[in-house]
Every structure is written in structure tokens, then in C-alpha cells.
Amino acid sequence: MSLLLGKVVLISGGTQGLGAGVARRAAAEGAAGIAITGRNADTGEKLAAEITASGVETRFIKTDLADVEQARNSVLETIEAFGQLDCAVNAAGLTTRGTMLDTTPELFDAHIAVNLKSPFFIMAETIKHLCSRGVPGSIVNVISIAELGGQPYLAPYVAAKAGLAGATRNAAHAHRWDKIRINGLDIGWTATEGEADTQKRFHGAGDDWLEKANASVPMGKLGQVDEIAEFIVFLLSSRSGVVTGSVIDWDQNVIGGSD
């Protein structure tokens, strides 16, 4: 099957981890063009070259999501490069730690900028473009299961991601008659390069962190990038039907469950 045949896809935060997984999956599902954004040019250009070599033209757009104008411009640059944009994925996320008591205004603002403000305006620019063409489209926001409460050390992250969940539903409702579907994915603990760095930086984990993490969860493994990426591409595609405004839990712990 070619779920994204002929579609141009923008993936914000698409140079590594889950975003890179989505880019590779979009290419495998027949996308006509892919734009990936991030701050690291070396990583981004390498991935873009890899996917282009596989047969799908891919552009890297250097973007710092702390700057909302760069975020907005990434949409415009994608349209300029490919002539259209059909699907967008907000996959980037800032995960620096902070509790309610030690979070500074500066840390809070950084989380809002990366985890809420820039995704909000990437959605807005994408929707404007789709409406101007009078065509359907789809957007998926990678949120977090933590938006439902989260750990004490994720206070600013939770605040921003909860805002993105609300914005996802609001935008989906506002543009359902434009046939623009907008959904979110509340992912749980996931095995990525970034998570490895986070565990070592903030939690003193060793090189065996993943083995220990896998042993601590019900399914015996953390969330897997390839599995989540496949589901995101499904949500982007017409195969997910009329589904819009859904924020879907992708986790192995049940919110509200109790032993």
C-alpha cells in the first residue's frame, strides 16, 4: 500500500528519533516529497540525503522552534520547495526538567515556545495553505501522555503539552468543514536517542538504562519508533477515514487504572 501517494509532508523535529522514523515511513508509503526540520544541519542533511537516495525527494530546513518565525517559515519554505503541502507532523519536543517550585519563567517560556507556540503556528500556516488550495489535508501532533498529569519534574512540559492537546481539538473542530483532519498522539515512554541522553543527563542512568527500562514496563519494552511512526502515517492518510480531533493514548499504562 502507498498511504501517502502524491502527498508532500512536513515533519517538524524530523531529523532524529520519532520524527526521523516518521520521515522514513512517509517515504516508504509513497510520499511525493518530504521536508524535515531541526537545528542540527549535519544530522538533517544526512537524513535528507538518505531518504532522497531511496527515491523520495527530501529537503532539510534548518529551524529553531524557539523562534516562532522560523517555525512559520518552515511551512512556507516547504511549499516553495515542493509547490504544495498536504500533511504536517509536529514531532519536536523540549524535555528539560522543572518542578512547580524550581521552574523559572525562562524555562517555562522555553517550553511554551517549543512545545506549544511553534506547533500552533505550524498548524495555522498549514491550514491557511490547504484552505487557499481548497483541498483536504491532515495534521498529527505528537503530544505526550504526560499532558494528562505527568511527573512532578515535568511541570512546564506538562503545561505546554496540555495546551497542545487543547489546540489540537480546537483546530480540528474549527476546520472539519474544510476537510482538514487534525489529531494528536499522547505517546508514553519511548526508546529514542534523545531519551537515552535525557536519562543519563537528568536521572543518572548508565549505558544499561534501556534494558532496565524495558524490564520495568508491562509489555517488556518501551514504545518503539517504527511502530509509532507507522501509526502516525496511518493517521495522516485517508485510510484513517473521518477521524479528527482525537488525542489518542499510545502507552501501556492505563490512565485511571489502579491495582
Instruction: Retrieve residue 165's grid coordinates.
Output: 492537546
Q: Scanning the structure block, which residue is given the C-alpha cell 544541519?
A: 41
- Dihedrals phi, psi of 23, to nearest 5 degrees: -60, -45
pTM of the model: 0.93
Question: Domain coordinates of the chain in residue numbers?
Answer: 8-188+224-250, 191-222
- Residue 196: what are its φ and ψ, rounded to 5°? -60, -45
Would you state the CATH architecture of domain 8-188+224-250? 3-Layer(aba) Sandwich (3.40)
Place of cell 517550553: 111
Would you give per-residue pLDDT tens digits along the chain (259 residues)?
699 999 999 999 999 999 999 999 999 999 999 999 999 999 999 999 999 999 999 999 999 999 999 999 999 999 999 999 999 999 999 999 999 999 999 999 999 999 999 999 999 999 999 999 999 999 999 999 999 999 999 999 999 999 999 999 999 999 999 999 999 999 998 888 777 888 888 888 888 888 888 999 999 998 899 999 999 999 999 999 999 999 999 999 999 898 8
Q: Which candidate, 203, 204, 163, 169, places its Cα nearest to that of 184?
A: 169
In angstroms, rounded to a whole number, what is the distance separating the alpha carbons of residues 21 and 183? 18
Q: Catalytic residues, which ones?
A: 157
Rounded-to-integer distance, Cα 17 and Cα 94, Å: 13
Q: Which of 90, 96, 126 is nearest to 18 (CA)?
A: 90
